[in-house]
């Protein structure tokens, strides 16, 4: 059990490698959503891995259980995780994103930043190709 030793309590990092910063303006549930999505996409949490229960994660991070529950339901709606009644919460086999508006928003943001940095469309495309290559390489490893 994880509450055997004194030191386990004090660590911000759980076996899940989630960090939260309560003082940040980004709400805690959003921090959890972002990190679990990123961990699932990068293969750090492979499909089928079991996530802690709401109660466990709330206890491990010492945060409000309502916050964890909220993050989990957003992730479930986005197809990132699956909740099986009475069994637990798991990383989904493949996220089925029916709504790609968050992606479009992120792309817009990217274009705004590129404009201010005076990055040309050609340079931007090159950067994108490079990032994609790095991403694929990392996933193969």
Partner 1 sequence: MDFAIETQGLSKVFNGRHVLKGIDLQVPPGSIFGFIGPNGAGKTTTIRLLLGLLQPSSGQAKVLGLNSQSESIQLRSKVGYVAEENHFYPWMKVEELVRFNAGFYPRWDQERARKLLEMFDLQPGVKVRELSKGMRAQLGLTLALAHRPQMLILDEPTSGLDPVWRRKFLQILTQETADDETTVFFSSHILSDVERVADWLGILINGKLRAMRSMEDFKYNERVVRVVFQHPAPESLLATDGIKSIQRQGSGYLLTITENFDEIYRTLERTPHFVLEAVEQDLEGVFLDYAGEEENDV
State the residues that interact with partner 1 by CB under 8 A.
3, 6, 9-10, 22-25, 27-28, 54-56, 58-67
SS3 82: strand
SS (HEC) of 10-72:
HCCCCCCCCCCCCCCCCCHHHHHHHHHHHHHHHCCCCCCCEECCHHHHHHHHCCCHHHHHHHH
SS (HEC) of 86-121:
CCEEEECCCCCCCCCHHHHHHHHHHHHHHHHCCCCH
Judged by beta carbon, residue 27 or residue 47, the one nearer partner 1 is 27
Kindly state the smallest distance separating residue 67's Cβ from partner 1, in Å.
7
Judged by beta carbon, residue 65 or residue 74, the one nearer partner 1 is 65
Kindly state the smallest distance separating residue 120's Cβ from partner 1, in Å.
27
Give the distance, in angstroms, between the CA of residue 103 and the centroid of all CA atoms in the same chain: 14
Judged by beta carbon, residue 45 or residue 52, the one nearer partner 1 is 52
Kindly state the smallest distance separating residue 16's Cβ from partner 1, in Å.
15
Judged by beta carbon, residue 59 or residue 79, the one nearer partner 1 is 59
Kindly state the smallest distance separating residue 130's Cβ from partner 1, in Å.
31
């Amino acid at each position: 059990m994880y509450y055997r030793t004194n030191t386990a309590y004090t660590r911000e990092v759980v076996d899940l490698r989630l960090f939260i910063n309560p003082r940040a303006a980004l709400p805690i549930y959003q921090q959890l959503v972002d990190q679990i999505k990123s961990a699932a996409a990068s293969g750090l949490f492979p499909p089928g891995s079991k996530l802690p229960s709401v109660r466990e994660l709330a206890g491990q991070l010492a945060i409000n259980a309502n916050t964890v529950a909220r993050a989990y339901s957003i992730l479930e709606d986005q197809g990132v995780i699956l909740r099986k009644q009475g069994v637990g919460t798991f990383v989904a086999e493949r996220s089925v994103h029916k709504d790609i508006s968050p992606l479009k928003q992120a792309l817009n943001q990217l274009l705004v930043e590129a404009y201010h940095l005076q990055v040309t469309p050609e340079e931007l495309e090159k950067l994108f190709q490079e990032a994609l290559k790095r991403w694929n390489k990392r996933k193969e490893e």
